[in-house]
Structure 1
Amino acid sequence: MTPPEPAPEAAPKPTSWARGAALRGLVALPLVAGLATAGWLVTRGEDTPAAAPPPVPVPAANAGAAASGPSVLEVSAPVKAKEPSQGGASGGRNPLQDWADKLAGPLDIPANALIGYANGELQLRSEQPSCHLSWVTLAGVGAASSNHGRTADPQHGPLGLSPAQWSKYGGGTPGIAKPVVTDPDAASVAAGRALCAGGGDLGGGNGWWKAVANFKNPGGGNDTELFRQRVLGNAQLYATLSLDPAKSGTPAVRATRFALGQLGLPYVWGGNGPEAGSAGFDCSGLTKAAYDSAGVALPRTAHTQYLATQRVPGEPTLGDLVFYGNPAVDIHHVGLYLGNGLMINAPTEGQAIQIHTYHTRGDDYAGAGRPA
């Protein structure tokens, strides 16, 4: 159960190592692949304690499906994205280049990387159509591996391919005479082949999740879990923005980007994040910091955030806050909605910030609020 949040104390001064998500060391805490029941969302019927409660035990990753209920493993793969254009030049222009040029800015992905991801999808449509690989999955891998080539090393390239993967999947691509792992086109095709290896189907949640885990590390582990959380989060964001790139500069998208940058940090009772001197965040500390980064001020606790936001009729959309509890008594938990039934969540002590299903039968979901 997620404990209610105390009033935050004055934040310590930022430390020099905590300036920006890209520079932060990630804390190795469980990112529970098979999350236990969503009981931490259920009404507790307890008073706010004066001090932080003891850590909540982390459930085993192999907990039975009947006991664990829905988790991030069971959700759909990223929603359908705007498909890349096929074909040659039209009217003197290349439709694939036009597609990439229109999306590069809104997605914050270099156009040559976008073209590579698109070529990876298009090639795998031809080679393994039953795999249903989307360019947004490759873009998620590129984001998690090297920020789309911006931090790539020459040995692994922009998609983070191991030497063994490159040796196995990097050759024989039409139109690429001399493939090299540093080339976004060749690397994307090789990564697509690795993801689709073994007849996998990335069109559904379990197949997608397994393929991304096997791509990173067939042996699994915490690093693999964090990697695929990052891939999933970024792929979902890219899919949404590809359908409506005009939203890219909105506070909702800016807040979502910030929250995605905190995946893997620990839940910390009353925590306001590394830039405020804390190792991580609690639930409302994360949502407040996310919207602070977008220029929108929110109150500090989940209950006051519920009162300060506009109610959302029906399903939430990207960047909305999703609340849990009894509005008349106490809203005790909040997450940031990512889309496709998922939220970015600082769950409870002993767990890391992660992506989780936002609403399950029997929880005490109270509705969504829109900060801006």
Structure 2
Amino acid sequence: MVAALVIGSLLFMRPAAQSQAVLPAAEPQPPSSTAASTGPSVLEVSAPVPAQAPQQQPQQQGKSALESWAAGLSGPLDIPERTLIGYANGELTLRKEQPNCHLSWVTLAGIGKASSDHGRYGGDLLKSDGTLNKPLGAVPLQGAAGEAATEQRGGPLQLTQQQLKRGGGGNIQDVDDAATATGRVLCSGGTNLQAGQSWWKAIANYRASDLFRQQVLGNAQLYATLSQNPAAGKAPAARAVRFALDQIGLPYVWGGNGPDSGSAGFDCSGLTKAAYDAAGISLQRTADSQFRSVLPVPPTGLPKMGDLVFYGNPATRIHHVGLYLGNGLMINAPTEGMAVQIATYHVTGDDYAGAGHPAN
């Protein structure tokens, strides 16, 4: 399964002209009846979009501006307030130490979510046998063989002792120390984290796991988007995206509706339906029926977080669907032999057919 995820997530390393598009499997018809078609298979270089910046100011009415900032975002982002302050302090410290690195707290928060669900899960999410533990409140991720953690980690960011030393030391359990040390590891060597390729290399330098890197990117992107519009954190679209992000790494299973339905994984429309089921919105089961039953996004418009993005021929048949994350990215179950993963939603030569709103 790791090999499958790696194949999908590393296609962005190839020049576009040399990439071979994967054929998303049709559903519910047997795969043998699938007509030849192109579909999304590339994850192009990307870093999370800019987020609402924390500001450290003198205390006002018993709370500092940073504490007030964290109090306003903690609920919508589902990050403990004190932990969120730690991520922000990491950014504020690195702003002074290495301003050209452009470290954002959302990258630290993405690492914290992928490592330990922001400290809610006491151990590393990756077990010694290479499978993934289950964070509290999340669907278990499977198929991460060979990506086991080999050193003891602690705290929300799950630093190794070696990484903590590289980052200047401190208390591995203290979120402020850990965030600063993590920032120093990410920013080492003059890294500019606003550049997509540099961001990807920095996360790999922190932990060499493509599964981990996708989880960090997806959650960091979600936090950046919600920081600009906290009220959207409780909307069905955000709840569906959270669900889908928790499925990254599960296998593609034709006709699969996920572990809660007794399947090891999902097919494309099984994932989108389960995501919106978790958000309290019922969708049709197949990609084609979803396309024809949701409110279409105007052809001149762009999809928004939580929109469904479709592939195929609207006049005949839609064969694939994904869930739009933002920043040109989607979460999808691509095809046989590949894991649920993040991909660029629209690339040259694909058969993108448009987007739709499952809920207002």
TM range (shorter): 0.7 to 0.9
The one of 69, 73, 96 equivalent to 1:99 is 69
Runs of 4+ in 1 over 4 A off after TM superposition: 47-50
Give how far 1:200 is off. Answer: 1.2
Q: Indicate how the Cα distance of structure 1 residues 278 and 298 shifts in structure 2: closer, same or farther if over 3 A, else same.
A: same
Aligned partner of 2:154 in structure 1 is: 156
Q: Contact (CA 8 Å) 2:161, 2:172: kept in 1 or not?
A: no
**Paired AA for residue 166 in structure 1:** L
| Cα displacement string for residues 257-306 of structure 1 (whole angstroms, at most 9, x for unaligned residues) | 00001000011111111111111000000000000111111111000000
- Aligned position for 1:57: none
Match in the other structure for 2:226: 241
Q: Is residue 34 of structure 2 the alignment partner of residue 34 of structure 1?
A: no
CA deviation vs aligned residue, 1:61-105 (integer Å, no higher than 9, x gap): xxxxxxxx9942413x11110000122223543000000000000
Paired letter, 1:34 = L
Deviations, residues 309-342 of structure 1 (Å, cap 9, x unaligned): 0011210000000001111100000000000000
Partner secondary structure for residue 113 of structure 1: helix
- Is the contact made by 1:312 and 1:370 (CA closer than 8 Å) also made in structure 2? yes
* Among 89, 92, 103, the residue aligned to 1:122: 92
Aligned with residue 319 of structure 2, among 332, 341, 348: 332
Is contact 2:27-2:254 (8 Å) kept? no
- Answer yes or no: is 1:185 the counterpart of 2:161: no
Amino acid paired to 1:164: Q
Matched, 1:111 2:85: no
Q: 1:48 and 1:283, CA in 2 relative to 1: closer, same or farther beyond 3 A?
A: closer
Question: Does the residue aligned with 1:72 lie in a helix, a strand or coil?
Answer: coil
The 2-side partners of 1:89 and 1:215 are apart by 34
Counterpart in the other structure of 2:308: 321
Q: Equivalent residue of 1:325, what SS? A: strand
- Calculate the aligned-residue CA RMSD, in Å: 2.2
Give 2:353's aligned residue. Answer: 366
Task: Report the CA distance shift for 1:253/1:49 in structure 2 as closer, same or farther (over 3 A).
Answer: closer
1:197 Cα shift?
A: 1.2
- 238-247 or 199-208, larger mean C-alpha shift: 199-208
Which blocks of at least 5 consecutive residues in structure 1 are unaligned? Answer: 1-26, 55-68, 172-178, 218-223
Asked if 2 retains the 8 angstrom alpha-carbon contact of 1:41 and 1:365, the reply is no
Change (3 A) 1:87 1:350: same
Matched, 1:347 2:329: no
Measure how far apart 1:169 and its partner are.
1.3
CA distance in structure 1 between the aligned counterparts of 2:315 and 2:237, rounded to whole angstroms? 27
User: Does the alignment pair 1:72 with 2:19?
Assistant: no
Using the alignment, how far apart are the partners of 2:318 and 2:30 within structure 1? Answer: 18
Unaligned runs of 5+ in 2: 34-39, 124-151
Amino acid at match of 1:39: A
Question: How far does residue 34 in structure 1 lie from its aligned partner after superposition?
Answer: 2.3
SS at 2:227 equivalent: helix
Give runs of aligned pairs for residues 221-240 of structure 1, distance below 5 A: 224-240=209-225
Matches within 5 A, 1:76-91: 77-91=47-61
Which residue is 1:252 aligned to? 237
Q: Is the 8 A contact 1:81 1:242 kept in 2?
A: yes
CA contact (8 A) 1:146 1:159 kept: yes
Look up the match of 1:208: 199
Please report how far the alpha carbon of residue 39 of structure 1 lies from its aligned counterpart in structure 2 after TM superposition: 2.7
Amino acid in structure 2 at the alignment position of 1:51? P
Match of 2:141 in 1: none
**Given the alignment of the two structures, is residue 52 of structure 1 paired with residue 31 of structure 2, yes or no?**
yes
2:187 to 196, 203, 225: 196
The residue number in structure 2 matching 1:61 is: none
Cα distance, 1:319–1:49 mapped onto 2, change above 3 Å = closer
Q: Is residue 269–residue 320 contact of structure 2 (8 Å, CA) maintained in 1? A: yes
Report the secondary structure of 2:159's partner residue.
coil
Tell me the secondary structure at the aligned position of residue 343 of structure 1.
strand
SS state at 1:363 partner: coil
- Kindly indicate whether the alpha-carbon contact (under 8 Å) linking 1:253 and 1:319 is maintained by their aligned counterparts in 2: yes
Q: How many residues are treated as equivalent by the alignment?
A: 315
| Aligned mates of 1:145, 1:300 — CA distance in 2 | 33
TM-score calculated relative to the size of structure 1: 0.80
Distance 1:253 1:305 in 2: 19
State the shift of 1:48 in Å.
Answer: 7.9
Taking the aligned partners of 2:43 and 2:90, their CA distance within structure 1 comes to: 25
Whichever residue aligns with residue 291 of structure 1, its letter is Y
Residue 126 of structure 2 is matched in structure 1 by none
User: Scaled by the length of structure 2, what TM-score is found?
Assistant: 0.83
Q: Distance in 1 between matches of 2:48 and 2:181?
A: 21
SS at match of 1:324: strand
Separation (CA, whole Å) in 2 of partners of 1:51 and 1:316 = 30
